[in-house]
Amino acid sequence: MSQTQAMSLDEIYQLAFDTLSRAGADEHNAKILASVLVNAERDGSHSHGLFRLPAYVAGLKSKKINGCARAEVTQVTSSFIRVDGNRGLAPTAHDAAIPALVKAAQKTGVAIAAIHRCFHMAALWPEVEAIAEYGLAGIACTNYMPSVAPAGANQAFFGTNPIAFAWPRSSKTPIVYDMATAAMALGDVQVAARDGKKVPPGTGLDNEGQPTTDPSAIAKGGVLLPFGGYKGSGMSMMVELLTAGLTGETFSDETKARDNADGGPPIGGQFLLAMSPEIIAIDDWQSHCDSFFERMSGLPGQGVRLPGERRHKNRRSTAKRQINSELLEKIHAL
């Protein structure tokens, strides 16, 4: 069992902010990323909180990531926004893109943002939740570096390619689904390896292409598998097409060739979609959907839990968060 240290949310934020600032991020970028990291710890998204800080620092120190980036938003048509991330961190691009995306969707009913030249290594729920806060449904996806073998292959080709979806509710937190199309997110495999835990069968293959439940064998030289065989593989391919084919950015297998292998996130693209039920749906969409969720939650069986509920419950806790001590030592040494 790994050792942990209790930290308040303010302490986590300050640690992230100071570490990012020392690594070369300006106040604007350090503030935005530190908020994303502390919110991940607040919600119990451990694989995308402080755990990712050393990788961000590596990218900032090698100057691959522009720590002083200001994303450039271009309204190409009434429902399409192009965002140049200016080689900055994805949350900085979202900070600029989401207000413009929301404004367009509230006007036209549906809008997309195609982001290019940004570094994404965070969870995706922050961007779709931000869209849902305006009463819109949101979809987001991004690709990565080759780490997942398509169904039928034993070599990495797709990224872990997450997809997130949020649906707004009137008096409750939104429904938020946020998942890697890999059987397990790479961050979770790395956390399992660090904590000496096994991963479920079907998560990945070792460096000889053999199935393994050892997360270290997958993370070092092995390969992840898509969830659900060819079905997850198809969704992962869709993510590649939306985030690279559509935005003009690189596919995951092309991304590796231009990365400097500093351990930081790779530069790439992201696809965001916002839809307004207020404009698209017929009357009373909120109570229609509320009663759908009620019927779904009330189904017989072991109990249905709505996606997003776990994080939103964690969010309400005012207790200190437990942070892995080894990770803290690593961060202090950066």
Catalytic residues: 47-48, 188
86: enclosing H helix or E strand: strand 80-89
* CB-nearer residue toward ligand NDP: 215 or 308: 308
DSSP annotation of 265: P
* CB-nearer residue toward ligand NDP: 135 or 307: 307
Confirm or reject binding of residue 272 to ligand NDP (CB under 6 A): no
Interface pattern 134-153 for ligand NDP (x via CB under 6 A): --------x-x---------
Rule CB under 6 A: choose which of 228, 234, 245, 307 binds ligand NDP: 307
What is the CB-side half-sphere exposure of residue 11 using CA atoms within 13 A? 10
Confirm or reject binding of residue 179 to ligand NDP (CB under 6 A): yes
C-alpha span between 169 and 316 (Å, rounded)? 18
Intra-chain end-to-end CA distance of the chain, in Å: 24
Confirm or reject binding of residue 124 to ligand NDP (CB under 6 A): yes
Report angle CA 236, 238, 96 to the nearest 5 degrees: 100
Rule CB under 6 A: choose which of 42, 46, 87, 311 binds ligand NDP: 311
Rule CB under 6 A: choose which of 67, 273, 308, 323 binds ligand NDP: 308
Residue nearest to ligand NDP (CB): 123
Confirm or reject binding of residue 160 to ligand NDP (CB under 6 A): yes
Confirm or reject binding of residue 253 to ligand NDP (CB under 6 A): no
* Stretch of residues binding ligand NDP (CB under 6 A), selected from 18-26, 57-65, 76-84, 301-309: 301-309
Query: Of 243, 184, 252, which is closest to residue 218 (Cα–Cα)?
Result: 184
Confirm or reject binding of residue 178 to ligand NDP (CB under 6 A): yes
H-assigned helices in 25-159: 27-43, 53-61, 90-108, 125-132
* CB-nearer residue toward ligand NDP: 30 or 122: 122
Residue type, 184: M
Shortest gap between Cβ of 236 and ligand NDP (angstroms)? 10
Shortest gap between Cβ of 106 and ligand NDP (angstroms)? 25
Rule CB under 6 A: choose which of 80, 134, 177, 293 binds ligand NDP: 177
Rule CB under 6 A: choose which of 120, 131, 150, 224 binds ligand NDP: 120
Query: Of 201, 197, 217, 200, which is closest to residue 209 (Cα–Cα)?
Result: 217
| Residue with the two structure tokens 């590596």 | 58
* CB-nearer residue toward ligand NDP: 97 or 104: 97
Confirm or reject binding of residue 180 to ligand NDP (CB under 6 A): yes
Residues 181-210 that bind ligand NDP (CB under 6 A): 184-185, 187-188
Burial 205-229 (b: 16+ CB within 10 A, else e): bbeeeeebebbbbbbeebbbbbbee
Rule CB under 6 A: choose which of 59, 85, 88, 162 binds ligand NDP: 162
Give CA separation, 180 vs 21, 163, 189, 227, 240, in Å: 30, 6, 12, 8, 13
Q: What secondary structure, in 3-state letters, does 158-225 show? A: ECCCCEEEEECCCCCCCEEEEECCECCCHHHHHHHHHCCCCCCCCCEECCCCCEECCHHHHHCCCEEC
The site for ligand NDP (CB under 6 A) is made up of 45, 48, 120-125, 142, 144, 160, 162, 164, 176-180, 184-185, 187-188, 305, 307-311
